[in-house]
């Protein structure tokens, strides 16, 4: 079967070299039972490649099932994959077969494999190496004949270095890796895909498909498609619905394209490959504590100099006053510092000391040597501290705590176990 026939059969649009290479690899490996790891950003169509591999394999008449490992709660994923016996846990009123048992002879597509808990990873490795598994709550070893196709939008090799993914499982899964290119790496396909989406929309709703002028086409091609094909389809449908003209100009296109499609979160330079929720949390905390540490260090130095030389106190007060005045002047609110009713000294300078207060002079004997103590900048310690505070604030309610922290409830559950936090 040639490449164009496969594209027509599975609705794949595009002719970029990177896409064709990924498709050729999928076709070549389909006739074997080798494990395949499909790598690519969210929205590039990784599941379509798993369907191609299954449809062209000797297992094509047997079951195919797609499992999203990130959508199954950590406490039930073992039961979903391997089954359980009656009474194995609360709510297990009957025995149940897992996916590896029901799909025996077929193919399992395991999406978001990087979200799989470490305990489940060990059980999956055993299935891949021996074809054996044990139901939850049972001691009986069972056999299965399942081909595994895994997919991830994470860099699993970096996860192995951080202890979040088993290294032996990584190499077992990536027998044949397939990297699906992002949309910004196949710019020559963007206009073809856009045209396909607007034509499909017009046929569905009996409307005229929109046309793009040259400026609109350039904007579309050079846009940074973070959501890949999924985002492009959304934009095409928005334009088809909301555009008042059948000819879309560059100014019209700017109304639909996000101003900044990149991440607005602070980034730590020099670290490549860290993506997703976990990386964003680390980057925010790192930037926050780095700025805090710098400010605290400056304050320590200033007060130490004042202790050693009290004559600097007036200079420091003037500096502080001027800084505050500038800040509040910028915000249009100087009343917070200077009030018409506030007592003013004879020299016209605003006073920052209560009336009648006298400066305190420190003698040399009163000045002690102060040793700067470096505060802990360990990201994991700070993250654990924030999680504990959020749980206390919301009285142990995980859902409210996760919303306050800006992470998912599943991620919070995983971090509670990772940091061994007793609720």
The pLDDT tens digits of the residues spanning 157-192 come to: 999 999 999 999 999 999 999 999 999 999 999 999
Whether residue 189 sits in one domain with residue 175: no
Question: Pick from 164, 181, 198: which residue ends a domain?
Answer: 181
Q: In this predicted structure, what is the pLDDT of residue 411?
A: 82
Query: Rounded CA gap, 201 and 268, in Å?
Result: 41
Are residues 197 and 82 both part of a single domain?
Answer: no
Asked whether residue 100 falls in the same domain as residue 229, the answer is no
Task: Specify the pLDDT at position 260.
Answer: 56
Question: Domain holding 201: CATH number?
Answer: 1.10.8.60
pLDDT for the residue numbered 92: 84
Whether 350 is in a domain gets the answer no
Question: CATH number of the domain that 32 lies in?
Answer: 3.40.50.300
Please, what is the end-to-end C-alpha distance for the chain in angstroms? 58
Query: Is it the case that residue 134 has pLDDT exceeding 90?
Result: yes
Range of the domain at 250: 184-256
Residue 75 confidence (pLDDT) above 70: yes
Is 290 a member of any domain? no
Mean pLDDT of the chain: 81
Q: Which of 256, 276, 299 is the last residue of a domain?
A: 256
Average pLDDT over residues 85-113: 93
Q: What percent of the chain has pLDDT over 90?
A: 55
Say whether pLDDT at 316 is over 60.
no
* Whole-number pLDDT of residue 418: 79
Confidence bin at 282 (pLDDT 50/70/90): low
The answer as to whether 221 is a domain residue is yes
> Is 78 within 8 Å of 65 (Cβ atoms)?
no
Higher-confidence position of 370 and 23: 23
- Span 186-216, pLDDT tens digits: 999 999 999 999 999 999 999 899 999 999 9
- Whole-number Å distance between alpha carbons of 239 and 212: 10
* CA-angle at 31, arms to 30 and 35, nearest 5°: 55
Instruction: Judge whether 385 lies within some domain.
Output: yes
321 part of a folded domain: no
- Residues 231 and 124 placed together within one structural domain of the fold: no
Are 55 and 72 within one domain? yes
Judged against a pLDDT cut of 50, whether residue 147 lies above it is answered with yes
How many domains, in total, are found in the chain? 3
What mean pLDDT comes out for the span 349-365? 46
* More confident of the two residues 319 and 143: 143
The strand pairing partners of 67, in sequence order, are: 110
Looking at the structure, tell me whether residues 22 and 151 fall in a common domain: yes
Cα–Cα nearest to 226, from 193, 195, 184, 168: 184
Q: Same structural domain for residues 118 and 14? A: yes
What's residue 420's pLDDT?
79
Same domain, 39 and 177: yes
CB-based contacts of 236: which residues, under 8 Å, 6+ apart?
A: 194, 197, 198, 201
Instruction: Tell whether the model's pLDDT for residue 319 goes beyond 60.
Output: no
pTM: 0.61
- Tell me what the mean pLDDT of segment 140-149 comes to: 96
Query: What b-and-e string marks burial along 22-45, b requiring 16 or more CB atoms within 10 Å of the CB?
Result: bbebbbebbeeeebbbbbbbebbb
DSSP track, 30-59: HTS---EEEE--TTS-HHHHHHHHHHTSTT
Hunting for tokens 């199954």 — which residue is that?
A: 72
Last residue of a domain, one of 151, 181, 211: 181
Looking at the structure, tell me whether residues 174 and 192 fall in a common domain. Answer: no
**C-alpha to C-alpha distance for 162 and 165, rounded to whole angstroms:** 8
Shared domain check, 148 and 75: yes
115 and 220 co-located in one domain: no
- Distances from the Cα of 212 to the Cαs of 185, 207, 220, 348, in angstroms? 22, 16, 10, 67
pLDDT at 323 over 60: no
What would the two tokens of residue 188 be? 């020559």
Of the pLDDT bands very low, low, confident and very high (cuts 50, 70, 90), residue 313 is low
> What CA–CA distance (Å, rounded) separates 253 from 220?
8
On whether residue 104 sits in a domain, the answer given is yes
- 415 — pLDDT class (breaks 50, 70, 90): confident
Q: How far is the C-alpha of 143 from the C-alpha of 266, rounded, in Å?
A: 49
Please tell me the distance from the alpha carbon of residue 109 to that of residue 173, in angstroms, as a whole number. 12
Beta-strand pair 211-212/141-143: unpaired
Collapsed DSSP state (helix, strand, coil) of residue 64: strand
pLDDT at 281: 61
- Does residue 298 lie within any of the structural domains? no
Cα(360)–Cα(220) distance, rounded to whole angstroms?
67
Residue 258 binned pLDDT confidence (cut-offs 50, 70, 90): confident
Give the residue-averaged pLDDT of 99-107.
96
Does pLDDT of 332 surpass 60? no
Q: 136 pLDDT band (50/70/90 cuts)?
A: very high
């Amino acid at each position: 079967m040639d490449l164009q026939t496969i594209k027509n059969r599975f609705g794949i649009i595009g002719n970029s070299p990177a896409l064709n290479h990924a498709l050729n690899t999928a076709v070549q490996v389909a006739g074997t039972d080798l494990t395949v790891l499909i790598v690519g950003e969210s929205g590039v169509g990784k599941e379509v490649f798993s369907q191609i591999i299954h449809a062209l394999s000797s297992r094509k008449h047997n079951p195919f099932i797609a499992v999203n490992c990130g959508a199954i709660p950590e406490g039930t994923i073992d039961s979903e994959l391997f089954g359980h016996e009656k009474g194995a846990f609360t709510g297990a009123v009957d025995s149940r077969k897992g996916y590896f048992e029901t799909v025996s002879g077929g193919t399992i597509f395991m999406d978001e494999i990087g979200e799989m808990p470490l305990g489940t990873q060990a059980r999956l490795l055993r299935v891949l190496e021996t074809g054996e598994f044990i139901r939850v709550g049972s001691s009986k070893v069972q056999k299965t004949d399942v081909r595994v196709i895994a997919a991830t939008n994470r860099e699993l090799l970096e996860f192995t270095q951080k202890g979040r993914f088993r290294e032996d499982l990584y190499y077992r899964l990536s027998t044949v890796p397939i990297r699906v290119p992002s949309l910004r790496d196949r710019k020559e396909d963007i206009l073809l895909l856009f045209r396909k989406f607007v034509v499909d929309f017009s046929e569905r709703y009996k409307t005229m498909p929109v046309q793009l002028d040259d400026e609109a086409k350039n904007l579309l091609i050079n846009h940074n498609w973070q959501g890949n094909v999924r985002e492009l389809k959304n934009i095409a449908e928005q334009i088809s619905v909301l555009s008042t003209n059948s000819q879309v100009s560059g100014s019209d296109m700017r109304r639909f394209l996000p101003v900044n499609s990149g991440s607005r979160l602070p980034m730590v330079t020099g670290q490549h490959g860290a993506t997703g929720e976990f990386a964003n949390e680390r980057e925010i905390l790192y930037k926050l504590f780095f700025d805090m540490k710098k400010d605290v260090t400056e304050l320590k130095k200033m007060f130490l100099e004042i202790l050693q030389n009290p004559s600097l106190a007036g200079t420091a007060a003037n500096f502080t006053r001027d800084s505050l005045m500038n800040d509040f002047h910028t915000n249009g609110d100087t009343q917070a510092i200077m009030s018409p009713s506030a007592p003013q000294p004879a020299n016209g300078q605003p006073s920052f000391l209560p009336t009648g207060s006298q400066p305190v002079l420190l003698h040399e004997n009163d000045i002690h040597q102060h040793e700067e103590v470096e505060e802990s900048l360990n990201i994991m310690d700070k993250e654990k501290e924030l999680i504990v505070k959020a749980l206390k604030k919301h009285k142990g309610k995980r859902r409210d705590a996760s919303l306050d922290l800006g992470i998912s409830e599943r991620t919070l559950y995983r971090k509670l176990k990772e940091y061994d936090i007793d609720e």
